[in-house]
Structure 1
Amino acid sequence: MDIAAEFLAAIINTFEANKRLADRAVEQVPDDMLHVPPDEHTNSIAVIMRHVSGNLASRWTDFLATDGEKPWRNRDGEFEDAPASRAELLETWERGWACLFETLRSLGPDDLEVTVTIRGEPHSVPLALSRSLGHTCYHVGQIVQVARIHAGEAWETLTIPRGGSAQYNEANWGQPGRSHS
């Protein structure tokens, strides 16, 4: 087994799965609610999406050659809710993810032995990958939670619905009580 290739594939797979969760959650939110935070201490979906996109673009542009915090990034500005249509927001969102996936797919096993910097702090490539994955998943969870709040009763679950584990297990493994966790 090629552990390096398996590790990179697992990282890509997990990023892809989390992007799908966020995308499916955002689809359920009306346009006028994308910029509405649940309360004064919480970010709107639009703000979180811009922050994730800015972070991904900064970290993954010239990943192996330059510091992950680019001088052109305006992190503080990502948290200001600037008016944008759904299309503009999704364009920004997709740009950050495209940068991530293009870079991840270009990495090879030898790249896992490289040291990169993020805000001047050295990171092994596996550590930088794990750090980015953790940060992104954290914010995807926020997007899903805020989307769930805004969708209300119209929400369509993104995973196995409450009370649906036995039915899911039976459909997938033929055994209603079986669990793989």
Structure 2
Amino acid sequence: MPKTVNRVLLGLLGLGLFALGGGVLLGGLDLQRRWDFEAPSWWPFRGPHDVVLSTEGRTRWQEEDWWWPTVIAVLAVLLALLLWWLIAQLRRHRLGHVLVNTKDGAAARLNGSTLEDMIQEEAQSLDGVSRAHVRLTGRPTAPIAHVHLLLEPHADPARTLGQLSQETLAHARDSAGLDHLPSKVHLQEIRHRAQRAA
């Protein structure tokens, strides 16, 4: 989820909750009477004895067959959206840049996607690798490489993993001037559909 959209949604949600909570406090503490001001005519909380929904509002649709299934469906969809949003916030995002040790006391910034592309291209050139996908997470000074390799049926997983570790990831580590480049590798075999001979 883009950061801008995320911030706008969080801002709108926070503003809405702030307005709702403030309005309830105004009515619950009877501040309208104490401070001598009028709330908008549509606002339901006018004093400490007001409720969110009146008895009529709570029982208005109770006899309708569609009411409870609709309420439950809407609440379930809302809960699913909020859970999806929460998971999106907790998910580890890509590393924007890596700090490269230049050995002269200064540090240079390497674009994270550039390092990802380099590892990905070299991994795809390994024997038996059909496709590779690389994502960097962690901190700019201590990146972690998440590598997903799709292997051809003839590939030797142990040999491919050894080449990836000793060659591809070692090259990336050395080129970025990193002491360590921990990695999590997922190997998956490509599945070809059987074709019927005519």
TM-score normalised per structure 1 = 0.24
Larger helix share, 1 or 2: 1
TM-score normalised per structure 2 = 0.22
Larger strand share, 1 or 2: 2
